[in-house]
Amino acid sequence: MQTDTNSSPSALTLLSEEEVMFRDAVAAFAEEEVRPRVMEMEKAGKIDPALLPKYFELGLMGIEVPEQYGGAGGTLFMVTLAVEAISRVDAAAAIVCDVQNTLVNYPITQYGSEAQKAKYLPLLTSEVIGAYALSESGSGSDAFGLATRAEKRGNRWVLRGQKLWITNGAEAGVFVVFANADPSAGYRGITAFIVERGFKGLAVGKKEDKLGIRASSTVELLLDDCEVPEENVLGPVGQGYKIAINTLNEGRIGIGAQMIGVAQGALNATIKYVSERKQFGKPLAEFQGVQFQLAQAATDLEAARLMVYNAARLKDAGKDIAREGAMAKLFSSQVSERVTSLCVELFGGYGYTKEYPVEKFYRDAKIGAIYEGTSNMQLQTIAKAILK
Q: Looking at the annotation, which residues are catalytic? A: 372
CA dist 274 and 282 (Å) reads 10
3-state secondary structure of 59: coil
Residue type at position 229 = P
Q: In 153-287, which residue ranges form alpha helices assigned H by DSSP?
A: 240-276
Count of Cβ atoms closer than 10 Å to residue 95 Cβ: 27
Angle at which helices 288-316 and 322-346 pack, to 10 degrees?
A: 160
3-state secondary structure of 221: strand
Q: Are strands 130-133 and 174-180 parallel, antiparallel or unpaired?
A: parallel
Sign of CA dihedral 304, 307, 309, 315: negative
Give bridge partners of residue 153 from the DSSP assignment. Answer: 156
- Angle at the Cα of 368 (from 261 to 310), degrees rounded to 5? 60
DSSP annotation of 374 reads -
DSSP annotation of 388 reads -
Give bridge partners of residue 233 from the DSSP assignment. Answer: 193
CA dist 50 and 276 (Å) reads 35
Kindly write down the DSSP assignment for every residue of 275-324, as one continuous string. Answer: HH-EETTEEGGGSHHHHHHHHHHHHHHHHHHHHHHHHHHHHHTT---HHH
CA dist 369 and 330 (Å) reads 7
- Which region holds residue 371: left if phi is over 0, alpha if psi is between -120 and 50, else beta? beta
Sign of CA dihedral 50, 52, 54, 56: negative
Q: First and final CA of the chain: distance in angstroms? A: 36
Q: Are 80 and 329 in contact (CB under 8 A)?
A: no
Of residues 266, 258, 212, the one with CA closest to residue 83: 258
